[in-house]
């Protein structure tokens, strides 16, 4: 059995997804096909890891009636959890798919303010978790310092856990500068914000990605590119895989599904390029399913078979 994959979600959410024939201002918008999912970066990763056959533990901050509902949804999904109580109420997000226009509207509240004793309790909890991998995913809620994920990385290193990070802005930069990251997964926009300029040219994107992994701060960098696929960089080179052609039914949780499958692949001992391909397959399976992060295991396996692996390229940024 691969080691337990623990996840951390400081700002989880209850995701409500529905469809409407048309989204119009002022007028009442009637929705249907509604579903509720436990959401937030790490929560989604745990759900997908479990769907794909891995062992997981979701560490969450939760409180209030909405927090209890979140816990109920996780219990129904069979996801083991460890809840840290907070004063504020867990947020509720909503996604509406306008069937007429083919557009998806996402409404995401900020969430509660987290007190110092509450985020400190999260760090203390991580120091008790017995896992082989630790995935921290999502933006930091108000009240949490920007170096929080750098502190999480230090705990993971001390306890022998491999640390995976999916965030943006100053928290991403500070964690990478502190070092000890096994895998980071920014989107292209998040990576461009990290480096300070646009990277529209594929060669520039690959060159910049190689600089980061060859700095020794992290082992793997996976940059998700939306409909253009994804880029993987390690010290040995880069690999770009195109997006798989699937019918899109919703994009919420696609990046988390990618991260879950790739992390699980690495935890299972797969080669990094193979784990990356499993991530691409899971992301495609997620966008072809309604709701938040609902790739089905059989669909992921089928889509993985469609990916023809190519050797990682050493043509860019050769050392020496």
Supply the residues annotated as catalytic: 256
The CB-based long-range contact list for 78-82 (8 Å cut-off, 24+ gap) reads: 78/50, 79/38, 79/43, 79/46, 79/47, 79/50, 80/56, 81/46, 81/57, 82/57, 82/58, 82/125, 82/129
- The rounded radius of gyration (Å) of the Cα atoms in the chain is 19
Which of 226, 278, 296 is CA-nearest to residue 255? Answer: 226
Q: Which residues contact 271 (CB under 8 A, 6 or more apart)?
A: none
E-strand spans in 66-215? 81-85, 91-98, 103-107, 133-137, 162-166, 181-184
């Amino acid at each position: 059995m691969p080691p337990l994959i623990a996840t951390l979600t400081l700002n989880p959410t209850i995701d409500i997804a529905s469809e409407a024939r048309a989204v119009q201002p002022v007028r009442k918008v009637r929705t249907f096909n509604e579903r509720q999912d436990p959401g937030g970066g790490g929560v989604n990763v745990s759900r997908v890891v479990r769907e794909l056959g891995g062992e997981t533990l979701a560490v969450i901050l939760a409180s209030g009636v909405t927090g209890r509902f979140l816990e109920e949804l996780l219990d129904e999904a069979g996801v083991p959890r460890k809840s840290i109580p907070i004063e504020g109420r867990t947020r509720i997000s909503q996604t509406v798919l306008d069937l007429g226009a083919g557009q998806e509207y996402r409404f995401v509240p900020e969430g509660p303010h987290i007190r110092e004793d509450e985020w400190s309790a999260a760090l203390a909890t991580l120091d008790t978790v017995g896992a082989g991998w630790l995935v921290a995913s999502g933006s930091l809620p108000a009240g949490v310092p920007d170096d929080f994920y750098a502190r999480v990385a230090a705990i993971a290193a001390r306890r022998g856990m491999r640390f995976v990070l999916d965030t943006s802005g100053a928290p991403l930069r500070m964690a990478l500068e502190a070092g000890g990251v096994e895998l980071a997964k920014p989107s292209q926009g998040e990576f461009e914000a990290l480096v300070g300029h646009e990277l529209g040219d594929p060669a520039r994107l690959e060159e910049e990605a190689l600089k980061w992994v060859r700095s020794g701060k992290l082992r793997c960098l996976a940059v998700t590119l939306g409909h253009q696929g994804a880029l993987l960089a390690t010290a040995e080179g880069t690999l770009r895989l195109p997006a798989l052609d699937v019918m899109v039914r919703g994009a919420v949780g696609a990046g988390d599904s990618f991260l879950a499958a790739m992390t699980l692949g690495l935890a299972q001992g797969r080669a990094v390029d193979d784990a990356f391909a499993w991530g691409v397959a899971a992301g495609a399976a997620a966008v072809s399913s309604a709701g938040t992060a609902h790739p089905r295991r059989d669909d992921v396996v089928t889509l993985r078979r469609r990916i023809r692996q190519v050797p990682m390229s050493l043509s860019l940024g050769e050392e020496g």
